[in-house]
């Protein structure tokens, strides 16, 4: 309804105006389609050098071609990164490092929803392994570059895309891989809750070591994208009939990620949950410091990184 009212406002919703980003570099995971595509397009329009990290080469190259054409920014590129493979994530980071360029914005956007029970290359449940652990490893491997790129007047930013489903998520620390009981809804919600806990813990760590990096988490709302391809046919029918009215377009869905990535209002602000470009409270359990720490420690073990200071490829 909020979205509908925004759309019905006379003259349409106000177009946000952000400062140009010439010379800044961003990585957007899953930037070849959906919300990620429009995030990349907007950042490129602002003059950023944007790297799409994705697992589909032809889709990625096609997105690059279209975005270059529409934004007249030649600094848009695709680099292969399969977030369901730790090896691929490490190779992606090596390729990125070989470019010797800074990194000002990392948007952890890619995701899958309601996939049948299956495992990533490394044997993790797919929602947890791809949506959460993939981004956990990627961010940690890029953290040193983010720290070197941020300054006191221009912090580097990590933006992680979660979802309102995190409110119903339960984190099963003793069964993060959903081995005891698998429910696609539960596994998706758990991965999105883990991303919120991860963001808050990351912010604690960068604050503690005085780095010029901020980490925030965003909820894009309900957006009409291919994310819903695994829902049951009845839901597909309802979505098909109502999406035009109640769902955000992918472009509208990207607005909070873009806001978090470049808004001057958020300069130096970290550890917050954003919905409709506004600071919002996430679920109570996400503020549990002990749970954040325990999940971080477990995640380091699972991705075989020793701690925040360890970046060995
Ligand atoms: N659409 C919604 O209503 C909604 C609501 C809340 C949160 N979200 C979140 O927004 C984010 C973007 O989703 P979307 O709606 O644009 O869906 P989408 O399906 O259009 O896009 C998902 C992106 O993730 C990429 N991806 C999937 N598997 C990958 C892998 N193994 N390695 C690298 N990239 C991979 C896809 O290629 C695609 O670019 C997701 O994290 C999703 O959970 C979406």
Q: Does the pLDDT of residue 163 top 80, yes or no?
A: yes
Per-residue b or e along 114-133, where b marks 16 or more CB atoms closer than 10 Å to that residue's CB: beeeeebebebbbbbbbbbb
Residue nearest to atom 6 of ligand 1 (CA): 163
Residue nearest to atom 43 of ligand 1 (CA): 111
Q: Which atom of ligand 1 is nearest to the CA of 164?
A: 6
The Å distance, Cα 225 to ligand 1 centre, comes to 8
Closest CA to 54 of 71, 37, 41: 37
Confidence of residue 309 (pLDDT cuts 50, 70, 90): very low
| Residue 25, phi then psi, degrees to nearest 5 | -120, 140
The Å distance, Cα 10 to ligand 1 centre, comes to 32
For 160-168, what is the mean pLDDT? 98
Q: Does the pLDDT of residue 52 top 70, yes or no?
A: yes
For 224-246, what is the mean pLDDT? 89
Q: Which atom of ligand 1 is nearest to the CA of 247?
A: 3
Which residues belong to the active site?
Answer: 188
Query: pLDDT tens-digit profile of 172-210?
Result: 999 999 989 999 999 999 999 999 999 999 999 999 999
Q: Does the pLDDT of residue 298 top 80, yes or no?
A: yes
* Domain locations in the chain as residue ranges: 2-7+21-303
Pocket test residue of 3, 110, 118, 199 for ligand 1, highest count of atoms within 8 A of CB: 110
Q: Determine the Cα–Cα distance for residues 27 and 216; give it in Å rounded to an integer.
A: 15
Residue nearest to atom 17 of ligand 1 (CA): 227
Q: Determine the Cα–Cα distance for residues 197 and 291; give it in Å rounded to an integer.
A: 8
Contact 157, 260 (CB under 8 A): yes
Confidence of residue 308 (pLDDT cuts 50, 70, 90): low
Confidence of residue 307 (pLDDT cuts 50, 70, 90): low
The Å distance, Cα 208 to ligand 1 centre, comes to 31
Closest CA to 133 of 305, 258, 312: 305
Query: pLDDT tens-digit profile of 95-132?
Result: 999 999 999 999 999 999 999 999 999 999 999 999 99
Per-residue confidence (pLDDT) for residue 13, from 0 to 100: 67
| Residue 157, phi then psi, degrees to nearest 5 | -125, 135
Per-residue confidence (pLDDT) for residue 311, from 0 to 100: 41
Residue nearest to atom 38 of ligand 1 (CA): 30
Confidence of residue 9 (pLDDT cuts 50, 70, 90): confident
Q: Is the dihedral of CA 16, 22, 25, 29 positive or negative?
A: positive
Q: Which atom of ligand 1 is nearest to the CA of 29?
A: 34
Per-residue confidence (pLDDT) for residue 7, from 0 to 100: 73
The Å distance, Cα 147 to ligand 1 centre, comes to 26
Question: How large a percentage of the chain has pLDDT more than 70?
Answer: 96
Per-residue confidence (pLDDT) for residue 15, from 0 to 100: 73
Residues framing ligand 1 (Cβ under 6 A): 29-30, 32-36, 54-56, 81-84, 109-113, 130, 161, 163, 220, 222-223, 225-227
Residue nearest to atom 42 of ligand 1 (CA): 111
The Å distance, Cα 171 to ligand 1 centre, comes to 21
Confidence of residue 87 (pLDDT cuts 50, 70, 90): very high
Per-residue confidence (pLDDT) for residue 165, from 0 to 100: 98
Confidence of residue 276 (pLDDT cuts 50, 70, 90): very high
Q: Determine the Cα–Cα distance for residues 268 and 259; give it in Å rounded to an integer.
A: 14
Q: Name the CATH superfamily housing domain 2-7+21-303.
A: NAD(P)-binding Rossmann-like Domain (3.40.50.720)
Give me the interface pTM, i.e. the ipTM.
0.99
Mean pLDDT, rounded, of the chain: 94
Confidence of residue 221 (pLDDT cuts 50, 70, 90): very high
Q: Does the pLDDT of residue 246 top 50, yes or no?
A: yes
């Amino acid at each position: 309804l909020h979205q509908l009212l925004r759309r019905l406002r006379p003259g349409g919703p106000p177009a946000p105006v952000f400062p140009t980003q010439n010379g800044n570099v961003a990585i957007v995971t899953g930037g070849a389609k959906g919300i990620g595509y429009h995030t990349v397009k907007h950042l490129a329009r602002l003059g950023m050098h944007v790297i799409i990290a994705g697992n589909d080469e032809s889709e990625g190259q096609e997105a690059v071609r279209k975005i270059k054409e529409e934004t007249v920014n030649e600094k848009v590129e695709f680099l292969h990164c399969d977030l369901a493979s730790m090896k691929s994530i490490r190779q992606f980071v090596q390729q990125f490092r070989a470019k010797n360029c800074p990194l000002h914005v990392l948007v952890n956007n890619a995701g899958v929803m309601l996939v049948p029970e299956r495992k990533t290359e490394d044997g993790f449940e797919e929602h947890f392994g791809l949506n959460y652990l993939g981004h956990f490893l990627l961010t940690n491997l890029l953290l040193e570059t983010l720290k070197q790129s941020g300054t006191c007047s221009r912090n580097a930013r990590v933006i992680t895309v979660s979802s309102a489903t995190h409110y119903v998520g339960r984190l099963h620390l003793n069964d993060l891989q959903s081995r005891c009981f698998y429910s696609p809804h539960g596994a998706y919600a758990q991965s999105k809750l883990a991303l919120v806990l991860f963001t808050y813990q990351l912010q604690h760590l960068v604050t503690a070591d005085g780095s010029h990096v901020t980490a925030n988490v965003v909820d894009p709302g309900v957006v009409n994208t291919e994310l819903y391809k695994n829902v049951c046919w009845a839901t597909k029918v309802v979505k098909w009939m109502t999406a035009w009215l109640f769902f955000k377009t992918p472009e509208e869905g990207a607005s909070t990620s873009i806001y978090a990535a470049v808004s001057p209002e958020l300069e130096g602000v970290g550890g917050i949950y954003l919905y409709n470009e506004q600071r919002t409270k996430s679920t109570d359990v996400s503020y549990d410091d002990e749970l954040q720490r325990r999940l971080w420690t477990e995640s380091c073990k699972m991705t075989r990184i020793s701690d925040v200071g360890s970046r060995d490829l």
